[in-house]
Amino acid sequence: MPHFRTSGADLYYEQTGSGPDIVWLPGGDQRGEEMRWQVEGFPDFRNTTMDPRGVGETHHTEGPPWTILDMARDAAELIEAVCNPPVIVAGLSMGSLIVQEIAINWPHLVRLAIPMGTFAVSEGFSREWMEAEIRYRREHGDLPPDFATCHYAVFMYSPEVLDDPEKWAELRKVTEAAYKHRDGKMLDAQWQACCDFDTTDRLPDCKVPMHVIGFGLDMQAPPYLGKKCAALAGDGHYHRLEGLSHVALCGQKPEVVNAKIREIIESES
């Protein structure tokens, strides 16, 4: 699969299908391939995914440290090179922050922005948790692989998954892919960028339609943060999906999330 050289990274991406362009941006510690349930749900579009700096087969040529804006620049340069702008950009968690930066700084590339599990600035439990994770990594190093898998699963999936041994056996693979052998320095670099992120004073001037999706059981980005983000955006809209957790779109309930995304796209067509 191809690489694209941006101004700051040798970016690994995948592109499949034909039709209008959707660019899917994964959460922190996840590769672009973890958006495969969304790619499969939109066969009538041309789907593009990428590995952000610090994970997968993307190789950074500068930093860390990085900012979310640095990662957004990578994505914007990729969109200009391999897509037909303006495109739909949709992202989860760290990917949702990248979505915001693209919409704010490269609005001519975006016809619709869909940030999921997002915030305009981290605060409260969400920020304290990320800061504690970063501090632990810096002071004590990496978590044991089996502990990391179970520890992060609780933040990724809802009790519905943990209460179903067969479902957990299936989805633990997603958690393992992100965290089992994670390079602590790269995790640190991505999470620090999320902690430093702040679009509160810039979102009001962003006129790209921004449809924020919040998840009712989200522990990583509690849904009130997404609601505040949508309220700040110049053309913001908020959608709350009850019963779903932060990473429910990755294998747990992708059909529910995909249905909402398609509804949003059709409403803006």
pLDDT digits (tens, 9 = 90+) for 178-217: 998 888 889 999 999 999 999 999 999 999 999 999 999 9
Does the structure show a pLDDT above 70 at 28? Answer: yes
Does the structure show a pLDDT above 80 at 120? Answer: yes
In the numeric block, the tokens 């919040």 are attached to 214
pLDDT of residue 1: 63
Mean pLDDT of 30-39: 97
Does the structure show a pLDDT above 90 at 242? Answer: yes
Does the structure show a pLDDT above 80 at 227? Answer: yes
Average pLDDT, the chain: 96
Mean pLDDT of 121-141: 94
The per-residue DSSP string of 170-183 comes to HHHHHHHHHHTT--
Checking DSSP bridges between strand 46-50 and strand 59-60, what pairing results, if any?
unpaired
**Structural domain 3-122+198-268, CATH architecture:** 3-Layer(aba) Sandwich (3.40)
Mean pLDDT of 247-261: 97
Domain boundaries, the chain: 3-122+198-268
pLDDT digits (tens, 9 = 90+) for 148-177: 999 999 999 999 999 999 999 999 999 999
pLDDT of residue 63: 86
The per-residue DSSP string of the chain comes to --EEE-SSEEEEEEEE--SSEEEEEPPTT--GGGGHHHHHH-TTSEEEEE--TTSTT-EESS-SS--HHHHHHHHHHHHHHHS-SSEEEEEETHHHHHHHHHHHH-GGGEEEEEEES--SB--HHHHHHHHHHHHHHHHH-PPPHHHHHHHHHHHHS-HHHHT-HHHHHHHHHHHHHHHTT--HHHHHHHHHHHHH-B-TTTGGG--S-EEEEEETT-SSS-HHHHHHHHHHSTTEEEEEETT--TTTTTTTSHHHHHHHHHHHHHHH-
How many Å is the Cα radius of gyration of the chain?
17
Residue type (1 letter), 26:
P
Does the structure show a pLDDT above 80 at 12? Answer: yes
